[in-house]
Structure 1
Amino acid sequence: MIIIDAHQHYWQPARGDYGWLAQAPESLRRAFLPTDLGAERKAAGVDFSVLVQAAPSEAETHYLFELARQDDTAVGVVGWVDMEADDVGQRIDALIRDGGGLLRGLRPMVQDLADPDWLSRTSLDRAFDHIQDRGLSFDALVGMAHRSALERRLQRHPHLRVVLDHAGKPAIASKGFAPWAAWIDELSQHPVLHCKLSGLLTLLERPLDENAIEPYVAHLFARFGAERLMWGSDWPVLTTHASFAQWLALALKLTDRYAPGSRAQVFAGNAARFYALSIDGTRAAPTQAA
């Protein structure tokens, strides 16, 4: 079975544009590059990955293009662009050109912005129009605080290909299941919206109780089905709580429990379609035409 990691990072702090790392666990404040993951990923049986931005700069997106060209397991990049720039359309087109087919989507770092309503600003309409027109996707790095703003954006761009990163970061450690579940119920009503089965273990307190994430995973499968969930490692953030192989094994087990027979979809097919990834030279059709 082919496995695609739909959410993986590389970063090099010496580049100077990862401001959030200053508040991150010390173990993450170092470089994480292809040579740090290659053997572990191969041993786990993961074939390909989508590289996701970790710095709010177009320079970092170009850096990910460079790394992807050196790593034949990296089949796509979700980058960053200044979405409020007057020339945002030209900026997106330049990234598409410079990526040479690698750019599959864009992700503003919404969770780090001071304004919880930022996503609903009309000044972003041009950017989202262009993302949609160019057949790119939008990774929503959001939490409950952005619930209403995301809903307004989805209403304004109902055909935009959107994936919810890390299941919307539920407050698992504080047992915040009910409000999160109600939000997921709402989001699942948008037929184009997908969700990443990623980032859940890092929301737990220590000592780690893997069983705590099970009700959340069950709810995701109940609402999105196996057709709109895609597995991601969120490596190297994952390393603060578990190994690459541990999270993969747990995700496989829970998928078998709540969606028997759907491994090929959750661990490869959905990501390939959503991001229109090129696997073995054949580009998959996106879930929705641009």
Structure 2
Amino acid sequence: MRLDAHQHFWKLERGDYGWLTPETGPIYRDFGPEDLTPFLERFGIDGTILVQAAPTVAETRYMLDLARQNDFVRGVVGWADFEAPDAPDQIGDLARDPNLVGLRPMIQDIADPDWMLRDSLAPAYRALVAHDLVFDALTLPPHLKNLLQLADRHPDLRMVVDHGSKPFIAKGIIDGWAEDMTAIANNTPAFCKLSGLVTEAGDSRKVRDLRPYVDHLLEAFGPGRLIWGSDWPVCTLACSYEDWIGITDTLLKDLNEAERQAVLGGNAERVYLSKSTRQRTAS
């Protein structure tokens, strides 16, 4: 199975995508299943994980509706208000839908770099564990030391680091990020997404520019804990869906077939789809 473990849909008229403005250029328009399906068919991708793009429960329910209408959406990583007094109830209510496989606070956009370590969020993390949901960590390099602390506090929390934590590829900075990612790989069971890197590269988005970062992730996490995703349509700010497939195929060419299959789908299936598969089987 080949899975795209990180893609988005949005509908501008919904009005809750604060970051999505006319300044975002070509992605400032609606993107729906009909736009993505041709790529999935062309490249033999069996399914996707649909990931939140707005910090609202309303958008999460919108995505869950799309998942019910489109079989290729194998799971949804949504959003819940971790700071709300009723966060555990809110998470439990969303988790009744077997298509919900994880939640993602938009940490990269939160002003307080220590937000994830607030004691008030502990009930939300415990609810994630209780409902067998993945915590997708949308972080930047300065967040990584805190992410390691969070994993230590909640060792049962299943965690996936989105986009390799967005290293500063355009600036050619790898020190610091590399050490912190190694610490997370060595000291936690977290997985890491091989996605979103091309948009962090700026004009330097050739294979040779991405290789040091991808090679480090492969060394740190190994092919058994890396998860491929496109970050479509955000990736189209830097390259086409086809180009990203070509870039990652080149970057992964030294892996054997079993390792490639793990990165390109097996790991995502294991991390995200175990919950929904169990729930559907039980029902």
Shared topology, TM-score over 0.5? yes
Amino acid at match of 1:63: Y
Alpha-carbon contact 2:170-2:204 (below 8 Å) kept: no
Distance 2:162 2:183 in 1: 16
- What per-residue deviation string (whole Å, max 9, x for no partner) do you get for residues 93-130 of structure 1? 11112x2x100000000000110100000000000011
Are 1:263 and 2:260 an aligned pair?
Answer: yes
> What is the Cα deviation at residue 147 of structure 1?
2.3
Secondary structure at the aligned position of 2:80 is classed as coil
Amino acid at match of 1:116: P
**CA 1:259–1:24 in structure 2 vs 1: closer, same or farther (change >3 Å)?**
farther
> What is the Cα deviation at residue 278 of structure 1?
7.8
Are 1:238 and 2:249 an aligned pair?
Answer: no
Summarize the alignment of residues 130-279 of structure 1 with structure 2, pairs less than 5 Å apart.
Answer: 130-206=127-203, 208-258=205-255, 261-277=258-274
* Residue of structure 2 aligned with 1:106, choices 62, 86, 103: 103
* Residue of structure 1 aligned with 2:121, choices 124, 128, 132: 124
Number of corresponding residues = 279
Matched with 1:82 is 81
**What is the aligned-residue identity percentage?**
43
Amino acid at match of 2:15: G
Secondary structure at the aligned position of 2:136 is classed as strand
> What is the Cα deviation at residue 252 of structure 1?
2.1
**50-59 or 204-213, which deviates more:** 204-213
Structure 2's unaligned 5+ residue stretches are none
Secondary structure at the aligned position of 2:253 is classed as helix
Alpha-carbon contact 2:145-2:180 (below 8 Å) kept: no
Matched with 2:13 is 14
Amino acid at match of 1:172: I
Secondary structure at the aligned position of 1:138 is classed as strand
Amino acid at match of 1:179: G
Distance 1:186 1:251 in 2: 24
Structure 1's unaligned 5+ residue stretches are 285-290
Distance 1:87 1:29 in 2: 34
TM-score by length of 1: 0.92
Secondary structure at the aligned position of 1:126 is classed as helix
Amino acid at match of 1:84: E
Alpha-carbon contact 1:61-1:80 (below 8 Å) kept: yes
Matched with 2:48 is 49
> What is the Cα deviation at residue 191 of structure 1?
3.7
Please identify runs of 4+ aligned residues in structure 1 that moved more than 3 A.
258-261
Alpha-carbon contact 2:132-2:275 (below 8 Å) kept: no
Amino acid at match of 2:10: W
- What per-residue deviation string (whole Å, max 9, x for no partner) do you get for residues 182-206 of structure 1? 1111111134200000001111122
> What is the Cα deviation at residue 241 of structure 1?
1.2
